[in-house]
Amino acid sequence: MNLNSSSANVKVTIGMCVKNSEETVNKAIQSLLDQDFPKESMELIIVDGHSRDKTLEIIRKSLKKTGIRTKIFYENEGLGRARQIVVDNARGEYIVWVDGDMVLSKDFVRKQVEFMDHNPDVGVAKGKYGTLTDVKNQNLVAFLEDLGFILNTLSEGEASEKILATSGCIYRVKAIKQVGGFDPQLKGVGEDMDVESRLRNYGWKLYINSATFYEIRRQSWSTLWNEYFWHGQGASRLFERNRGAFSLYKMFPPVALTRTLFRMPAAYRLTRRKAVLFLPFHYIFKRIAWSVGFVKTSLERLIT
């Protein structure tokens, strides 16, 4: 579906894969409309995973009379298929990936595009996580989840080993097409780790730069568990198809605990909150959920 089919030149495609995001998607769309990058040089491609709420209604209302070129597609096969729909239909030189629970700083797109223009050997560049609210007013779950991601992108530069994921990333379309695009056979999540592995194998560099974005975090332990259980399920399917996509041993709880303990001093210096003492519990909790999802899906595949 085309909301605006103008054929003007497009520098960057905004790829938004959403599902049941009615509580947050309006903020994501508004942050796109507030960008200081020329709207005539952008297009928006939305792939909806058959939302059962008002996600699309909110998107259409938010975009009405904005003039931004928009295409809407539908899929129900997983993020690998959804992201490849964006790649197949993108007219931009770059794709900036925005989730339905993200908010971009006003200069995010401009900074990402400028970075890629000046670094032709970079296939993917990720911005830095910021925090949407005063950390003193966040509940514990949101604070710890926010802090974990902020620490992951604290240092700018080449990310030779880190998994960047797609949130807040800009992809060079030439690079993603060279490696064959996203794998539509991957169900659930894990499509980003798979692509990053292939990009590195082809010699493309992955970077973290200074563009800032934010995510609206999970507010309860139960929703956090469900999210990482789902990630574990996706990782199991990915591991079967591409065992070089990530280091399996780093994902399990004992290794995760050691890594988190080393990060605690930096976390305290950053926030000056004693709540950072809960970081090990938080990280172990997520990794147990991930591991249960991974093992459950792996066993199901063996049985069938």
Q: If you average pLDDT over every residue of the chain, what do you get? A: 89
Say yes or no: 111 and 228 in one domain. no
Structure tokens, 219: 């507010």
Say yes or no: 122 and 255 in one domain. no
Say yes or no: 72 and 211 in one domain. yes
Helical (H) or strand (E) element with 205: strand 205-215
pLDDT surpassing 50 at residue 143? yes
Q: Which is higher by pLDDT, 91 or 264?
A: 91
- Is residue 141 in a domain? no
Q: What domain range includes position 189?
A: 1-134+152-217
Last residue of a domain, one of 217, 235, 268: 217
CB 120, CB 173: distance < 8 Å? no
pLDDT in the model for residue 132? 56
Say yes or no: 52 and 77 in one domain. yes
pTM above 0.85, yes or no: yes
Percent of the chain with pLDDT over 70: 93
Average pLDDT over residues 224-240: 90
Say yes or no: 86 and 105 in one domain. yes
Strands of 28-100, DSSP E: 42-48, 69-74, 94-97
Say yes or no: 206 and 238 in one domain. no
Last residue of a domain, one of 197, 217, 237: 217
Q: How many CB atoms lie within 10 A of CB 66?
A: 15
Last residue of a domain, one of 198, 217, 236: 217
- Is residue 271 in a domain? yes
pLDDT in the model for residue 106? 96
- Taking the CA of residue 237 as centre, how many other CA atoms within 13 Å lie in the half-sphere pointing to its CB? 18
Average pLDDT over residues 245-261: 72
Residue 127's CATH number:
3.90.550.10
Say yes or no: 108 and 60 in one domain. yes
**Which of 80-84, 156-160, 247-251, 295-299 is predicted with the least confidence, judged by mean pLDDT?**
247-251
Say yes or no: 156 and 33 in one domain. yes
pLDDT surpassing 70 at residue 253? no
pLDDT in the model for residue 3? 45
DSSP 2: B
Say yes or no: 213 and 224 in one domain. no
Q: pLDDT band for 256, please (50, 70, 90 cuts).
A: low
pLDDT tens for residues 191-206?
999 999 999 999 999 9
- Is residue 97 in a domain? yes
The torsion angles phi and psi of 44, rounded to 5 degrees, stand at -120, 125
Rounded to whole angstroms, the Cα distance separating 49 from 58 reads 15
Dihedral of the CA atoms 77, 227, 58, 44 (nearest 10)? -60
pLDDT surpassing 60 at residue 135? no
Say yes or no: 196 and 259 in one domain. no
pLDDT in the model for residue 2? 45
Say yes or no: 53 and 195 in one domain. yes
- Is residue 139 in a domain? no
- Is residue 120 in a domain? yes
Say yes or no: 45 and 104 in one domain. yes
CB 98, CB 32: distance < 8 Å? yes
Average pLDDT over residues 95-119: 96
Say how many domains are in the chain.
2
Angle (CA) 155-156-159 rounded to 5° is: 90
